[in-house]
Copies of this chain bind each other. A is one copy, B any other.
Amino acid sequence: MIRIGVHRSTYKVIAFAFVVGLVLPSLMQAQLLSFPKQDLVDYTAQNPFDRSTDGRPKIPDDLIDRARELSSEEVWAVLEEKGFHNQYADGFHVLHPGKTMVGRAFTVQFMPLRSDIDEIAKAKAKEHGMPRLMNQTAIDMLQPGDVLVVDLFGKKVNGTIVGDNLFYYTMKATHSGGLVVDGSIRDLNGISEIDMPAYFRAVDPTPIGEVMLTGINVPVRIGGVTVMPGDLVVGDREGVYFVPPHLVKEVLDRADEIHIHDEWTKKKFDEGKYKSSEIYGSPSDPKLQQEYKDYLKKRLDEIHKQRSSK
C-alpha cells in the first residue's frame, strides 16, 4: 500500500524506494562490498548442480519439490553430522505457519545509512550508467524458485523490506518462493492475504529508510548463520535452515528414511503392545529390528518407483 501522494513530497525516507532500470553487468561496481561472480563460484565449488546465469548454484526443481516435505529436525540430522552447527535461525514471526518455505537463497545486504558513503555509491552507480541500488533493484532480479533473504541487521523502524505491493510482486516473480528478513515488513494486513511464506522479525508502518543497500547475492548473516547465494532455504513452523547445495541430496534421502521410520513407529505404537523404549529410536528386540529393516526397504523401493514414474 504505498502511498501515491508520497512521491510528490520531499520526504526523504520515501524517496529511497524509487525508480530503477536494469543493472546486472556493472552491479559490482556500485555496491559497497564486492563479491565477484568468480568468488561466488570459487566459494561454492562443491556445488554438484548447474548454476544460474548470476553464478548461483541452481538446485534442480525436482529436489526443491521434494524439500517441501522437510522439517527442521530432518535437516538438523544431516547438517549436525557433517559439522555444520551454524545453519539454523529462529525467533521469527512466521506468516503462514502451516506452509513450508522452500527455495534458492537470493541474498541482499543493507547497512546503516552514512551520507558520505552513500553519495559516493550513487556517483559510482551513475558513472556506470546505473540508478542507485535500492530494495527494488534487488527485487527486480528475482527468479522463479528464489527465496529473498535480506540482512537488515534486525532493524524494525525503517527496516521494512517490503509492503504489500512489493510482497505481491515478489510472490509473482518467485512463484511463491518466500521471504526471510532479519528486519521488518509493513502492510501486514495486506500481506497476510497473499499466499507466500515469509519470516520476519517485526512489523512497522514506516517505509524502509536510513539504510544503504550494500550487496546483492553476497554472503550475508541471518541470526547466527552465514547464508550463501544459492543455498537451499527451508522454513517450517520453528525456524529456517540454510542448506549448502552439496548437502541437499543427502538431506532429502535421509528424510525419506526418517519419514518411513516415523510411519513404522507410529504403526507399532498404534498396536498398543509396546513401551516407547521398546520401539523408539531403534527396536531392542532383534525380530522387531528385522521387521523394521524389511519395512524400510519395501517403502524406499515404493518411493523410488513412484518418483521415477513421474
Residues of A bordering B, CB below 8 Å:
1-7, 9, 11, 14, 17-22, 32-36, 39, 42-46, 71-77, 80-88, 90, 97-98, 100, 111-117, 120-121, 124, 136-137, 139-140, 153, 155, 163-166, 168-169, 172-173, 186-190, 192, 203-206, 210, 212, 214-215, 218-219, 221, 224-226, 228, 236-239, 241, 244, 246, 254, 257-262, 265-266, 269-270, 272, 275-278, 280-282, 284, 296
- Please pick, from B136, B237, B296, the residue contacting A280 in the complex, using a CB distance under 8 A: B136
Q: Copies of this chain, how many? A: 6
* CB pair B276 A244 closer than 8 Å: no
Pick the residue among B4, B39, B266, B270 that contacts A258 (CB under 8 A).
B4
Q: List 16 A-B contacts (CB under 8 A).
A: A1-B261, A3-B258, A19-B284, A33-B33, A76-B206, A84-B116, A86-B210, A112-B224, A112-B226, A116-B246, A117-B228, A137-B277, A140-B277, A153-B224, A172-B269, A204-B238
Not counting A86-B112, A169-B280, A173-B276, a sample of 6 additional A-B residue pairs whose C-beta atoms are within 8 angstroms of each other reads A20-B277, A34-B39, A73-B186, A86-B114, A112-B225, A116-B246
Minimal beta-carbon separation of A252 from chain B (angstroms): 13
Q: Select A281's contact among B6, B39, B117, B215, beta carbons within 8 Å.
A: B6
- Knowing A186-B73, A281-B3, the reply to whether A84 touches B115 (Cβ < 8 A) is yes
Contacts of A120 in B (CB 8 A): 42-43, 45
Smallest CB separation, A23 vs chain B (Å): 10
